[in-house]
Structure 1
Amino acid sequence: MSKLHFPPIKNQNVDQPWPGERTQYHPPKIGRRRLYIQLVFLGLTAIVVSTGVIAANVKSEGTEQQALSASTVAASATAPDPDLDLSDATAANNTGNAPPEDTLALKKGKCYLETLHMSRKGLFKQLTSDVDKFTPEAAQYAIDNVDNTDWDKAALTKAKSYVKTMSLSPDAIRGQLISDAEGFSPGEADYAIQHLND
């Protein structure tokens, strides 16, 4: 078998295409610094988007007080709730002698307890917040006069929602329940942890 012999290519510029060869587009090279800036920007964008998705999931679960939608907050801050008319609140009042603001706070407090399972402290903070704007006296009246409220069971329901949505350990759940954000008492938190698997 004979060996094929190709003549050496002399003085051929490597960047030049062969005759008849198509040239390809080569994008300009990006400096390392610019590349790093782009990667950091993409990473931060991914974090912001994933945080929004997590917040939307928490909001849709309805388990967190902080998950109130912006439209609900704006609507309750600017316009009175149509479900909370004065005659309804007076009828709901057990004593009949309370001021209208107290009975409205009582009705709003019942709504919060049924949906968000708040502690006494958390309910007080919510009713006196910039969203609801009740006086401290009206908020305290609501807490004192909520019928059939078992604060231990409210803590238990909140603890179970933490297990379901965040898969927290019992110690972490107890810490969250007695934190300033939730405001349950240590006794209520202990009850919740003891009955978590019931």
Structure 2
Amino acid sequence: MKIVRKHERTKKAFEKSLAKLQLDYLDLYLIHQPFGDIYGSWRAMEELYLEGKIRAIGVSNFQMDRLIDLIIHHDVTPAVNQIETHPFFQQVESAKFMEENKVQIESWGPFAEGRNNLFQNDVLVSIAGKYNKSVAQVVLRWLTQRGVVAIPKSIHKERIIENFNIFDFELRQEDMDTIATLDTKQSLFLSHNDPEIVKSLSGWKFNA
């Protein structure tokens, strides 16, 4: 079997994506998981960045030890690290660490995909009522005031419009502090420290 280096595979995957999108460059390109030959992928992405084919490169799901390892051993610091961040998993220490190392924290799953009954949570519903806003708008405003970038997903036009309408109000500090009490400091989805999860995310298979 021919072994193709991750560096080469990353460049080929990028060029394929660029062709499908019919674009000359991409604004942002990410490593999705912190496993496998991330060094090979990152070197390829650094080259594409320096060639002007990507405006910014970043990572996703990198815990802070893996993030600083990547920063130390490469020339280009990730522009963003996209991690699970929502009222029940607030990533306070990680956000501080990333700010200190000039990496923008970006939230995936800002609404926790509705888990823990987020949209019916008594605390969030009460705060939303005070501002005449929806729970979704309160969560997005809370993230924004913390300096967390969030890109919520929706296929409904009215919800997309609603998600943009968060700049005409500001949460008071007392409400920010109240939301802080919801933090469980645990993922609602998966642990990147669990060997079985790592096997699954890496596409690992048992040898027959």
Shorter-chain TM-score tier = under 0.3
Structure richer in helix, relative to its length: 1
Q: Give the TM-score normalised by the residue count of structure 1.
A: 0.26
Higher-Rg structure is: 1
Structure richer in strand, relative to its length: 2
